[in-house]
Structure 1
Amino acid sequence: MQQDLLIAQLQEGNEKAFERIYQLYATSMYGIIFSIVRDEKISEEILQDVFLKIWDNAPSYDSDQGRFFTWILNIARNASIDKLRSKEFKNKRSDLKDYDFTEILETSSNASGKIDAIGLQKYIDLLGPVCKKLIDLLFFKGFTQKESAEELQIPLGTVKTKNRVCIDKLRANISKR
């Protein structure tokens, strides 16, 4: 498979392979990052950091542990959440509560196209409103389970249970494809 060769070359430090990886995945990663931080300039900065991490950590990628796309998606998500949890973003938390990533996915904006480039829309559409909101808070906005419980005004135990159920539904939907 051509992607496996490209990844192997990346792991060996091949700059051309890295450029090709960037071309293939930058738009999708930017969409995920933007959906979390909601700021173009900061999203671009995080995107650069993410690809530096991909370059630096490429030898640690193991295809037996999961798909390459999932690996880089986790790097992007974690870098974005780290930024959200930084001091400078703590003061902006209330602004984030006004947005919902599902609204972005459902609009025809430029960011929407970038996010849907990774195929999230079809899986999001299959989830109920409770799962959408919970996944929005926990995975796209970087809320802790406790913060999500406070935001949704439900017990922490309920958040934990619903999170597990929602993730199971999402996994089932993805595995059906």
Structure 2
Amino acid sequence: MSILLENHIVELLLERDDKAMSLLYEHYGDTLLGVAFKVVRNEELAQDVLQESFLKIWKKSDTYDPSKAKLFTWLFRITRNTAIDKLRSVNTKSDKEIQMDVSDVYKLGTEGLNPELMDIQDNLDKIDSKYQIVLDALFFQGMTQQEASDELNIPLGTIKSRLKIGLREMKKIYGSTLLLATLLHFI
């Protein structure tokens, strides 16, 4: 995208001109949809995120400061944050899940591991690597959530979120009852 077109879009946004949104959608829509999809991993949700993002962009257009960030960076952040919020919202409303909110009480080990029971370690590669790392640290390396946070240099809140999402992804592979039984075997 040319700098002239970007500047024109910014001017239109600051003037609250509807043409700005058409140009934004035309030139950034597909890319921002891709950003949303990468986070939510669902086409329908990604479309919702894109729509919500464009609404936020329109409402917050007076807050954009070209001296602080390029237009795409600003659009990217709004879309990514909207996608994360949407994912959290959907996750909160989803079926009841294994709740492990008390982080430091679980000291997980592998002493009683029965390899024939299930191939969880082999199936970790079916989920996103950021969740694999957390599940591996907690269930196979015996770390507490705080220890995993320190060792992996990831904030504790992020460890908790990734654990929750990682367990949900594994639940999709195994089903909730079988997954719960297997994970309880590790404790």
Q: TM-score, normalised by structure 2?
A: 0.53
The one-letter code sitting in structure 1 at the alignment partner of 2:75 is I
Q: Does 1:25 align with 2:60?
A: no
**1:63-106 CA distances to partner (integer Å, 9 max, x unpaired)?**
111111111111111111111112x3244799xx9443xxxxxx
Matching residue of 2:39? 36
Matching residue of 1:89? 91
Change (3 A) 1:152 1:33: farther
The higher radius of gyration belongs to 2
Residue 151 of structure 1, CA deviation: 5.3
Matching residue of 1:5? 8
Residue 158 of structure 1, CA deviation: 2.6
Matching residue of 1:158? 151
The one-letter code sitting in structure 1 at the alignment partner of 2:63 is S
Residue 152 of structure 1, CA deviation: 4.3
Change (3 A) 1:148 1:75: farther
The one-letter code sitting in structure 2 at the alignment partner of 1:89 is N
The one-letter code sitting in structure 2 at the alignment partner of 1:47 is L
Q: May I ask how many residue pairs the two structures share in their alignment?
A: 116
Q: Distance in 2 between matches of 1:28 and 1:39?
A: 15
Change (3 A) 1:28 1:152: farther
Q: What RMSD over aligned residues (CA atoms) do the two structures have, in Å?
A: 2.9
**Structure with the largest fraction of helix:** 1
What residue ranges of structure 1 are gaps of 5+ in the alignment? 101-132, 138-146, 162-177
What residue ranges of structure 2 are gaps of 5+ in the alignment? 99-124, 139-146, 155-187
Residue 33 of structure 1, CA deviation: 0.7
Q: Distance in 2 between matches of 1:151 and 1:29?
A: 32
Residue 29 of structure 1, CA deviation: 0.6
Matching residue of 1:14? 17
Matching residue of 1:112? none
Q: TM-score, normalised by structure 1?
A: 0.56
Q: Distance in 2 between matches of 1:46 and 1:59?
A: 21
Change (3 A) 1:148 1:57: farther
Q: Distance in 2 between matches of 1:50 and 1:83?
A: 11
